[in-house]
Structure 1
Amino acid sequence: MLIDPATAAGIADGSVTLAFRRWDRPRMRPGGTQRTAAGVVRIDSVDEVDPDSLTEDDAVQSGVRSLAELHRLLDRRPGAHVYRLRVGPAGPDPRVELREQATLSADERRAVDARLDRWDAAARGGRGRGRCSR
């Protein structure tokens, strides 16, 4: 499920609590998560709904200006069913912190290089061409 940056930011700050998708079958499950630019999004529930039962409040909770706009967005996509996903923030993307911490010592770098060299040597004996440069 793609979540645009503005919607992801709304989920992170709590102003967006619903998402609607048109799918042939559910593509997300309750308890699942998705990483976005604004952090991790938690999927609390996934329920099939009748598009005619949607309300202005549903549109507002999904970060859309109006019910007409929500219907327009749903009608742009193929899919036999409309699903309401209750969503919430699940915290920051853990990869950001890991990326900021990711530094290798000289010994760790040598170990990685040695392992890659072994893989390159094995690949040259088979079908690979090895690394181009470091």
Structure 2
Amino acid sequence: MLFKEVHLNGIKSGKITLAFRKWQKASVKCGSLLHTSVGLIEIGKIENISENCITEQHAIEAGFTDKQQLLKSFTHNSTETIFKISVSYHSAEPRVKLREQTELSEKVFTDLKKKLERLDNYSKKQHWTNKVLSTINDNPNLHDKGIAELTGFEKEWLKLNIRKLKNLGLTISRNVGYELSPL
């Protein structure tokens, strides 16, 4: 579930408490946490709502000036359901603290190496982690398409797996591309 930066800042400040999405089926679950650029966003109650039941107040709570602006934000697929989703700021992004580490104990270093080995060993594209990390190191802020071209990996596969490296605190996503973290 993607949010525009202005909406993320509104959620963090508490000014935005709702989100509306038009989907075939809900793609988030109540109680789940989303990693975003402002931190973790918690998904609360999710309910179907008809367009007629959306109020001006709902639109304001979702960060829009009025109902018409909210409705214009939807893709115009008439077969999809509108979902009203409660959202709130949960906490700072835990991966930031992880990636800012510059000194590791022997045990933490060994555990990290084991996790990378596991990613390599359980992937159909064995021994990819070092290749991807080296490419990011040599080409900071290069977008995923460029990294895919340099490594020979499919772009969508690469994006998913760079996220795994990010979850270990090893990479940082930028507005354009990626870079290695201090870790």
TM-score range (shorter-chain normalised) is: 0.7 to 0.9
In the alignment, the residues of structure 1 paired with residue 18 and residue 12 of structure 2 have an alpha-carbon distance, to the nearest angstrom, of: 12
Tell me which amino acid in the other structure corresponds to 1:72. Answer: K
Q: 1:34–1:40: 8 Å Cα contact kept in structure 2?
A: yes
Q: Deviations over 1:79-131 (max 9, x none)?
A: 510000001110100011111124346x67x969x97xxx7xxx9xxx96885
Decide which structure has the larger Cα Rg and report it.
Answer: 1
Residue in 1 that maps onto 2:99: 99
Residue in 2 that maps onto 1:49: 49
Tell me which amino acid in the other structure corresponds to 1:84. Answer: K
Residue in 1 that maps onto 2:15: 15
**RMSD of aligned alpha carbons:** 3.1
In the alignment, the residues of structure 2 paired with residue 8 and residue 102 of structure 1 have an alpha-carbon distance, to the nearest angstrom, of: 29
Residue in 2 that maps onto 1:84: 84
**How many matched pairs?**
124
Kindly state the Cα deviation for residue 77 of structure 1 after the two structures are TM-superposed.
4.9
Provide the identity percentage: 26
Tell me which amino acid in the other structure corresponds to 2:58. Answer: D
Q: 1:41–1:90: 8 Å Cα contact kept in structure 2?
A: yes
Displacement over 4 Å in runs of 4+: 127-134
In the alignment, the residues of structure 2 paired with residue 36 and residue 129 of structure 1 have an alpha-carbon distance, to the nearest angstrom, of: 29
TM-score by structure 1 length? 0.77
Residue in 2 that maps onto 1:25: 25
Tell me which amino acid in the other structure corresponds to 2:103. Answer: T
Unaligned runs of 5+ in 1: none
Residue in 1 that maps onto 2:67: 67
Kindly state the Cα deviation for residue 3 of structure 1 after the two structures are TM-superposed.
1.1
Q: 1:17–1:86: 8 Å Cα contact kept in structure 2?
A: yes
Distance 1:53 1:104, change over 3 A: same
Distance 1:103 1:21, change over 3 A: same
Tell me which amino acid in the other structure corresponds to 1:27. Answer: S
